[in-house]
Amino acid sequence: MRSPKKLRARNKKRLLPQIVGIMKDISSPAAVKALLKERGLSPNKQLGQNFLVDTNMINKIADAAEVTKADAVLEIGPGLGALTQELSERAGSVVAVEIDSGLAQALETTLLGRENITVIHADFLKCDLAELHHALGGGSFKVAANLPYYITTAIIMRILESGLPYVSMSFLVQKEVADRMAAFPGTKSYGSLSIAVQYYTNVQVVLSVPRGCFLPPPGVDSVVVRLTARPPKVAVPKVEDFFRITRAAFAMRRKTLANNLAQGLGIGKDRAQQLIRAANLPENVRGEELSLEQFAEIARAYTQVDG
């Protein structure tokens, strides 16, 4: 991970008299095209690069993040910095993690003169979270991002399970993923992602973002979802067991919960049925019908004996 201090120093060295002022227009389609062209870059599909090119929508996304000058903000995937600029206007400080070296370099220009932003050139999924937290000031923080869709779940899970003191996370994501996060038991979208997100946070789908707000437009619908931290919704003796159980429960959707638990937890079918009975559930129940509290009942019975 390149040191934030070094990047700031390089920013300063590169100050040219004619561009000392803050660069304003980086969010129109023409400006994004020109910036990319100037640097010999083009949107990299494999890195999920769909840049925001609608100032109005950028403002609405920043509104959804409810950022104030009292906040430190983490942004994942700043791209050319369109959302980063808006966040830096509203936040006390912004730390932005970008994997693409071409874009990380472009940010040195597009974010030039903004002293409250630290750009870290790194893969968010591999970067050292303790260092990142340090760069954020070491206290609580908010997260805001137009996420790369190919790793949305991995990014969200990494933050949820990090134990870091995030207050809220506002993400622009594929609508189908937001539906999974907000889903209720008994619906098609309900699964282990719904349970993980709802265990740690309150989920709100805040607004839809039309495809035309991006360059290039993604092939799927997008929404902004806000996850607000709160104490875990259910009490379980061992959180790892709870998540092993919920992951096992959804491994094969057509199977009964007993079969999925037996296979996923490596226990006999009799034991799996016993756990289900301990939670006062019928033996042929399927995982998608269970609430968080019912999964917690199973986890309590499991941890008592097997955990």
Instruction: List binders of ligand SAM among 151-190 (CB under 6 A).
Output: 151
* Residue 127 Cβ vs ligand SAM, minimum distance, rounded to whole Å: 8
- Partnered with residue 121 across adjacent β-strands are 98
Give the contact letters, 79-108, x = binds to ligand SAM (CB under 6 A), - = no.
x--xx-------------xxxx--x-----
Comparison of 144 and 276: residue with beta carbon closer to ligand SAM? 144
- Asked if 202 and 41 count as a contact pair (C-beta separation under 8 A), the reply is no
Of 123 and 240, the one with the shorter C-beta distance to ligand SAM is: 123
Q: How far apart are CA 130 and CA 176, in angstroms?
A: 31
Indicate whether 26 belongs to the interface with ligand SAM (CB under 6 A): no
Q: Write down the least CB distance from residue 98 to ligand SAM, Å.
A: 5
Q: Is the dihedral of CA 204, 198, 168, 162 positive or negative?
A: negative
Closest CA to 197 of 218, 177, 224: 177
| Shortest separation between residue 295's beta carbon and ligand SAM, angstroms | 30
Q: Collect contacts of 25-30 with beta carbons under 8 A, ≥24 apart.
A: 26/80, 26/81, 26/82, 26/85, 26/110, 27/52, 27/53, 27/54, 27/55, 27/58, 27/82, 27/85, 28/53, 28/55, 29/53, 29/215
Q: Which is nearer to ligand SAM, 149 or 295 (CB)?
A: 149
Q: Draw the binding track, 116-135, toward ligand SAM (x: CB under 6 A; -: no contact).
A: -------xxx----------
Which of 243, 244, 233, 251 is closest to 287 using CA atoms? 251
The residue within the footprint of ligand SAM, chosen from 11, 49, 170, 294 (CB under 6 A), is 49
- Applying CB under 6 A, the residues found at the interface with ligand SAM are 47-52, 76-79, 82-83, 97-100, 103, 123-125, 146, 148, 151
